[in-house]
Homo-oligomer: A and B are copies of this chain.
Amino acid sequence: MPVTARDVARVAGVSISTVSRALAKPDEVSPETRDKVLSTARGMGYRPNLAARGLITGRTGNIGLMVPDLENPFFAAVAKGVQGKARTAGYAVVLADSDEDPSRERDLVLGMASQVDGLIMCSPRAPDSVIQQLADECTIVLVNRECGGLPTVSMDNLDGIRQAVNHLRALGHRTIAWVGGPVTSWSTQRRLEALKSVTAQDPELEVIDLGSFQPYVSGGISAGDLVIASGATAVLAYNDLVAFGLLKRFRQRGVRVPEDISVVGVDDIPMSTLTTPELTSVGIPLVNCGRAGVDMLLSLVRDPSTPPEHHHDLTFRLVVRESTGPAPDAHPGV
Contact = CB atoms under 8 A, between A and B. Distances in A.
Contacts of A73: 71, 73, 76
Contacts of A270: 71
A52 interface: yes
A242 interface: no
Contact of A94 (B95, B248, B275): B95
Interface stretch (A31-39, A43-51, A308-316): A43-51
Contacts of A83: 70, 95-97
A92 B92 contact: no
Contacts of A14: none
A152 interface: no
Interface string A101-144: 00000001011111100000000000000000000000000000
A52 B62 CA distance: 15
A115 B93 CA distance: 11
Contact of A113 (B2, B71, B96): B2
A80 interface: yes
A176 interface: no
Given A94-B94, A274-B274, A115 B79 contact: no
A93 B108 CA distance: 11
Contacts of A110: 47
How many protomers of this protein does the assembly include?
Answer: 2
A94 B96 contact: no
Interface of A: 2, 47-52, 54-55, 60, 62, 65, 69-71, 73, 76-77, 79-80, 83-84, 87, 92-97, 99, 108, 110-115, 217, 244, 248, 251, 270-271, 273-276
A262 to B, nearest CB: 17
A51 B55 contact: yes
B79 A114 contact: no
Contact of A76 (B70, B114, B244, B276): B70
Nearest to A80: B70
Contacts of A99: 84
B84 A114 contact: no
A110 B49 CA distance: 11
6 contacts: A2-B113, A47-B114, A83-B96, A83-B97, A93-B94, A275-B276
Contacts of A273: 217, 248
Contacts of A77: 71
A101 to B, nearest CB: 11
Contacts of A111: 47, 92
B108 A2 contact: no
B52 A94 contact: no
B97 A244 contact: no
Given A49-B55, A50-B114, A70-B79, 7 more contacts: A52-B55, A70-B80, A71-B73, A73-B73, A92-B95, A93-B95, A251-B276
